[in-house]
Structure 1
Amino acid sequence: MTLQLAAPDRTRHIAREDGRRVGWSEWGSARGTPVLFCTGAAMTSSFGFGAEAIQELGVRLLCVDRAGLGGSAPDPNKSLESYARDVEAVLRSEGIARPPVIGFSQGAPFAVALAGSDVVSAVAIVSGQDELAYPPTRQMLHPDVAGLVTAIEKDREGFEASFAARVDAEGLWALIIAMSAPEDRAIYDEPAFSTAYRRSLAEGFAQGPGGYVRDLTLAMSRWPTQPETITVPVSLWYGKRDTSTVHSPDFGETLSTRFPKATLHAFPDEGGALLWTRSREILGDLLKAG
């Protein structure tokens, strides 16, 4: 399957009150309907999705780089809540009020944090990382992933220092490919796709591994915003052939029961690349909800 990839139409930044730079990229018309996008692990805002769907649906897709990744400066106090404040500052600077948001893979807890801070009007979680430290979910984890959750709980700072010393963009790419189902590797291994994905990861590590490593520990800890408190509509999208051990161990079944207004879409014959294979469907559904 050949997918259309497009470079951002615009790349911008603002300065926060503490002087930190927060950068973001956009696709689509500047007058389009705003939709936020929270990227996966170590990915930056240079790598988007759904170029044709964005044009057809009149979407203005905005992706704000998390602190320490891409166009955003590091933040020693980075948290899920601080990310929400950065995004809120970007939206305020653009005159945008409560757009819907898509959270892909490790971007899922960041999208949930935006909902918890009343920044967005609806959420789509696509092949999303679950709240892995949530006790019922934790019992279903692969032993290696459960071990990471435990190590972060015991000593987050020590884990971050140790992990940062042995992770880089190429190693993460190799891990992503190793954990991917054949259906996903067929997409990720396409030359144009893999080049864009790997470039995004390289940009994610350009300021050092700290931004990604902090994202990892935040995502693998208990989420400060619990799904049960989210009042906006949430749609969850999973392919049941997704073999990533750091997504949802039961393809969103438990997670979907925790959101008061949730709809679960599960596809038995697809993997985790739904963000690219079902872009139009995901965006269309989200626009209706938001």
Structure 2
Amino acid sequence: MSAISAGTAVAVPAPARRGAARLADGRRLAWGEWGPEDGTPVLLCPGAATSRRLGFGAEAVEELGVRLISVDRPGLGASDPSPGRTLTGWAEDVREFVALRGLSGLRGVGFSQGAPFALACAAAGLFARLAVVSGTDELAAPAFDALLPDEVRYLAERAAADPAAAERSFAGFGSPEVLWELVAAGSGARDRALLEQPAFAAAFQEAMTEGFAPGPAGYARDTLLAMSHWPFDPGVIRVPVDLWYGALDTAPTHSPDHGARLAARIRTARRHLVPDAGGMLLWTHADPVLRELLDDEAAE
């Protein structure tokens, strides 16, 4: 498996192209792209409050002919807000976005908090194949009650008991500085080595600053949805889904069992537990993630 060794500098260039699509209701969905314009389209659902600025796999995208597209979710970055939005509503936004931009054979990547959004799109039949990387699982599922850290269980319980109050509280601590501290505090040594690289840290923090530019409401809504029960059954997904988790991932809001339960719920899932990786394997293992995503023979 081709991966970036610990300590190797990871390049995270700004998007080669940026723009916005205008939806039928007048809202804008802002996007950024890397790679060849005629490449295989891959839609990235990014992690918590990170904008379209933060791509991955700079060298692999070019080498493999990937047209990587990252979209700011409503209320984040340069995308217009959509109060009360849902995971399934996001899938409908993506359906319209795909039609507007003429994308065919679209594949998806969902990283961290972006995973439920990517899975909602897969359940809606929008992807030919999906990679979930260090994905947030359905944390509100009863099977995880005994596995969640106390602070995460509290958030999930609060989201279920009083969603409006929970959303307000998430907005109260929503800022790029606080979120960066939370990411760093929840990271193990493997991930901290990457977060301490000046260029990578600068790109990550810039993406968070852009994500929070409209205010904390978009992040708060995303977090509420991530902490709540999913409004779709992942069992309906019929396209291949690769679940990528690092055995050294210590982030408390990813998957308590590194995707084992999620793999059992998706008939088409294949789980990859990478022994020497942490939660940032989207960047340290971008090449194998993308190669698997493009492998149509493995998808059959």
SS at match of 1:232: coil
1:65: how far off? Answer: 0.9
**Counterpart residue type for residue 269 of structure 1:** D
In the alignment, which of 214, 217, 229 is matched to residue 221 of structure 2? 214
In the alignment, which of 279, 292, 296 is matched to residue 285 of structure 1? 292
In the alignment, which of 161, 182, 193 is matched to residue 154 of structure 1? 161
Q: Provide TM-score, normalisation by structure 1.
A: 0.97
CA distance in 2, matches of 1:255, 1:139: 16
CA distance in 1, matches of 2:19, 2:93: 14
**Counterpart residue type for residue 216 of structure 2:** P
CA distance in 2, matches of 1:92, 1:179: 38
Report the counterpart of residue 172 of structure 1 in structure 2.
179
**Counterpart residue type for residue 204 of structure 2:** Y
Aligned length: 290
Report the counterpart of residue 227 of structure 1 in structure 2.
234
1:163: how far off? Answer: 2.5
CA distance in 2, matches of 1:138, 1:228: 21
CA distance in 2, matches of 1:172, 1:29: 32
1:85: how far off? Answer: 1.6
In the alignment, which of 242, 246, 254 is matched to residue 239 of structure 1? 246
| Conserved 8 A contact 1:237-1:264 | yes
SS at match of 1:55: helix
Per-residue CA distance 1:204-255 (angstroms, 9 max, x = gap): 1110100011000111111112221111111111111111010001111111
Per-residue CA distance 1:181-201 (angstroms, 9 max, x = gap): 110010011000001100110
Query: What value does the CA root-mean-square deviation take over the aligned residues?
Result: 1.1
1:77: how far off? Answer: 2.8
CA distance in 2, matches of 1:131, 1:161: 21
Report the counterpart of residue 81 of structure 1 in structure 2.
88
Report the counterpart of residue 69 of structure 1 in structure 2.
76
CA distance in 1, matches of 2:169, 2:153: 17
**Counterpart residue type for residue 147 of structure 1:** Y
Report the counterpart of residue 268 of structure 1 in structure 2.
275
2:11 aligned with 1:7: no
Structure 1's consecutive aligned runs of 4 or more residues displaced over 2 angstroms after TM superposition are none
CA distance in 2, matches of 1:142, 1:215: 20
SS at match of 2:295: helix
Per-residue CA distance 1:21-76 (angstroms, 9 max, x = gap): 11111101110111111100001111100010000000001111100111211111
Structure 2, gaps ≥5 residues long: 1-7
2:27 aligned with 1:20: yes
Structure 1, gaps ≥5 residues long: none
In the alignment, which of 116, 122, 127 is matched to residue 115 of structure 1? 122
| Conserved 8 A contact 2:119-2:234 | yes
| Conserved 8 A contact 1:137-1:254 | no
Q: Provide TM-score, normalisation by structure 2.
A: 0.94
1:265: how far off? Answer: 0.6
CA distance in 1, matches of 2:103, 2:207: 26
